[in-house]
């Protein structure tokens, strides 16, 4: 392997160490720790697993996290009502409120997300927070996008003047990350291209990238032939694929063909242990920020 590893897990550990002190300072001042409420709807295994990681990480830094479960049969009105009740602190102080996605297909996801007050929106999905980010005065930045930028800054990967190509145009990752890269200052000042399922000559565009981010959820999408030698490749995909040789019968892979791309790229993030732990660390940071802004 030629590329240097973008070790998200190690960086997340260092961020947690700092947050632990800041959380303690907050708790001493206010008389209680910051508190995060996560809404988990239904029994999707992947969502349950992500929520478990978020709660465990919160506990490690001293943030009080509660998971509020709703049955898969809940309708949009009920979920909006639940989020509104949380926002009135009926389940205890809720500095941060996060609705784990995806929601069941019969739910109007946008309506549920819009019920989360902007000042408690630690996911950064509220239109007010999206607007603030687009205007270059970010408050809550979507956690995965913030994590990718942080990872590159930490590794010393230059973005200023460089060409960043993002595959994926989601509100959760692609769009906010494009705004971060295009914004002014550290981790920004890049020239940004967003690619998606309708993009022509995806491989050709990717080959021009100094920084290439894959965020679509397609295993093996990015191959060595799509990567400029020396480029930084960040893999946001988390896909479970069958693997008869694994004890569980499956394993996690990203959107990047790691083995071949690692021979061409200058930097590469692994899956697991790359962007995932940073997403969680950024959520903890947003929760502390929400608690501080409230005081
Ligand atoms: N599902 C996958 N990623 C995310 C995320 O960043 N936030 C929430 N709430 N759900 C997700």
Write out pLDDT tens, residues 3-37.
Answer: 999 999 999 999 999 999 999 999 999 999 999 99
List for the chain the helix, strand, coil content (%; round to 5): 40, 20, 40
Task: Decide whether 31-118 matches 143-276 in CATH topology.
Answer: yes
pLDDT in tens, 159-182: 999 999 999 999 999 999 999 999
Residue nearest to atom 2 of ligand 1 (CA): 101
**Nearest protein Cα to ligand 1, atom 4:** 101
Pocket of ligand 1 contains residue 44 by CB under 6 Å: no
* The domain over range 143-276 is classified in CATH as 3.40.50.720: yes
For residues 265 and 93, give the distance between their C-alpha atoms in angstroms, rounded to a whole number: 46
Q: Which fold has domain 31-118?
A: Rossmann fold (3.40.50)
Binding site membership of 99 for ligand 1 (Cβ less than 6 Å): yes
Pocket test for ligand 1, best of 123, 125, 275 (most atoms within 8 A of CB): 123
DSSP one-letter string for 65-114: EEEEEE-TT--HHHHHHHHHHHHTTBTB--SEEEE-SPPPTTS-HHHHHH
Atom 1 of ligand 1 has which residue's CA nearest to it?
Answer: 101
CA nearest to 141, candidates 179, 111, 103? 179
3-state SS assignment for residue 54: helix
Is residue 100 annotated as a catalytic residue, yes or no?
yes
E runs forming strands in the chain = 4-5, 35-41, 64-70, 96-99, 163-167, 191-195, 211-214, 232-235, 239-242, 250-253, 267-268
Give catalytic status of residue 54 as yes or no. Answer: yes
Q: Among the options 95, 100, 175, 210, which is catalytic?
A: 100
Listed by start position, the domains of the chain span 31-118, 143-276
Choice among 64, 123, 235, 257 that is catalytic: 123
52 is catalytic: no
Contact 37, 70 (CB under 8 A): no
Q: Are 203 and 165 in contact (CB under 8 A)?
A: no
Start-to-end CA distance of the chain, whole Å, equals 49
Q: What is residue 224's DSSP assignment?
A: G
Full pLDDT tens readout for the chain, 295 residues: 899 999 999 999 999 999 999 999 999 999 999 999 999 999 999 999 999 999 999 999 999 999 999 999 999 999 999 999 999 999 999 999 999 999 999 999 999 999 999 999 999 999 999 999 999 999 999 999 999 999 999 999 999 999 999 999 999 999 999 999 999 999 999 999 999 999 999 999 999 999 999 999 999 999 999 999 999 999 999 999 999 999 999 999 999 999 999 999 999 999 999 999 999 999 999 999 999 999 9
Put simply, whether the predicted model's pTM sits higher than 0.85 gets the answer yes
């Amino acid at each position: 392997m030629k590329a240097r590893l973008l070790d998200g897990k190690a960086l997340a550990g260092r961020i947690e160490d700092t947050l632990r002190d800041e959380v303690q300072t907050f708790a001493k001042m206010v008389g209680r720790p910051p508190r995060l409420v996560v809404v988990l709807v239904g029994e999707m295994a992947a969502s349950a697993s992500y929520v478990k990681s978020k709660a465990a990480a919160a506990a490690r830094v001293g943030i009080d996290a509660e998971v509020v479960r709703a049955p898969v049969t809940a309708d949009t009105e009920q979920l909006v009502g639940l989020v509104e009740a949380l926002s009135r602190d009926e389940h205890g102080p809720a500095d941060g409120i996060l609705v784990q996605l995806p929601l069941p297909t019969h739910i109007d996801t946008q309506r549920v997300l819009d019920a989360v007050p902007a000042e408690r929106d630690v996911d950064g999905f509220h239109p007010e927070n999206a607007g603030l980010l687009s205007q270059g005065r970010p408050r809550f930045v979507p956690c995965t996008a913030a994590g990718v930028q942080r990872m590159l800054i930490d590794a010393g990967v230059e973005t200023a003047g460089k060409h960043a190509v993002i595959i994926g145009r989601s509100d959760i990752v692609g769009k906010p990350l494009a705004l971060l890269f295009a914004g002014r200052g550290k981790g920004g000042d890049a020239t940004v291209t967003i690619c998606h399922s309708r993009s022509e000559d995806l491989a050709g565009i990717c080959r021009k990238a100094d920084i290439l981010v894959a965020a679509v959820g397609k295993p093996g999408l990015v191959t060595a032939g799509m990567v400029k030698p020396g480029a930084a490749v960040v893999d946001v995909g988390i896909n479970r694929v069958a693997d008869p040789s694994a004890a569980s019968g499956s394993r996690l892979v990203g959107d990047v063909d790691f083995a071949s791309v690692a021979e061409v790229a200058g930097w590469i993030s692994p899956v697991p242990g790359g962007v995932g732990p940073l997403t969680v660390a950024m959520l903890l940071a947003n929760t502390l920020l929400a608690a501080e802004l409230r005081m």
